[in-house]
Amino acid sequence: MSDSSLRLVWVYPDLLSTYGDQGNALVVERRARQRGLGVTRVDVRSDQPVPTSGDIYLIGGGEDRPQRLAAERLRRDGGLARAASNGAIIFSVCAGYQILGQEFVNDLGEREPGLGLLDVVSTRGEGERCVGDVLADIDPRLGLPQLTGFENHQGITHLGPTARPFARTVLGRGNGTGDGTEGAYSDTVFGTYMHGPVMARNPQIADLLLKLALDVNALPPTDDRWYEALRAERVAAATQPA
């Protein structure tokens, strides 16, 4: 592999990067380099075009107005949608997850078109915010251990027929619909409400994206002791009696 064999794109860090979500880009990059894989990371601000030649695209969460601005610019730019049509891997968190769907409710209380990359529709919940630690069992088809993360959102996301739940909650609200679903995915496009950053708590998700990007079934092993210690700490904290 050449030094630029894997292209990692972090989308709109100036608008969508709350709760440490940019840590996901750091984890994917580090997990690649630990395996001796060449990786080039590109941080694309909202006033720049989104390149269509990336292998993995990461999008984080954001407040309501930045979310609307990001959705408007991504629709106008079209680069992320073209990358998806080329088979790129896309992983999104919270506001980014909603943007990838068919529509969401923006800061003006209006229905805002999403990019249509996931068959989900997000509305604004009327009850308490979904806030706190989450434990969830990831879809067995993905072959990943239990998900641990932190949610903080008012959104309610309903899955359409072509979207699969990324996980099913053991603890926490997830998509907020009451059906136990958390996040969604379809082919190589993924969405979740989990912050943390989620890949620091769940490095196997980063590995899944790398395997998909490289079209391999396995990666060389790496030292996971730090990640496993963090996972164990957060799972124990979440399951402790209040």
| pLDDT per residue rounded down to tens, the chain (242 residues) | 344 489 999 999 999 988 889 999 999 999 999 999 999 999 999 999 999 999 999 999 999 999 999 999 999 999 999 999 999 999 999 999 999 999 999 999 999 999 999 999 999 998 899 999 999 999 999 999 999 999 999 999 999 999 999 999 999 999 999 999 999 999 999 999 999 999 999 999 999 999 999 999 999 999 999 999 998 998 998 888 76
What is the reported pLDDT for 217? 94
Question: 93 CB contacts (<8 Å, ≥6 apart)?
Answer: 21, 24, 59, 60, 61, 191, 192, 193, 194, 195, 197, 198
To the query of whether residue 195 is one of the catalytic residues in this protein, the response is: yes
To the query of whether residue 94 is one of the catalytic residues in this protein, the response is: yes
Bridge partners of residue 156, in order along the sequence:
123
- From 130, 153, 158, 195, active-site residue: 195
Structure tokens at 222: 């790496």
Question: 207 CB contacts (<8 Å, ≥6 apart)?
Answer: 31, 219
Q: How far is CA 11 from the centre of its chain?
A: 11
Whether 65 has a binding-site annotation, put simply, is no
What is the reported pLDDT for 2? 41
CA distances from 32 to 79, 164, 197, 220 (A): 24, 27, 17, 10
Residue type, 113: P
Question: 153 CB contacts (<8 Å, ≥6 apart)?
Answer: 61, 94, 129, 130, 176, 193
What is the reported pLDDT for 242? 63
What is the reported pLDDT for 4? 47
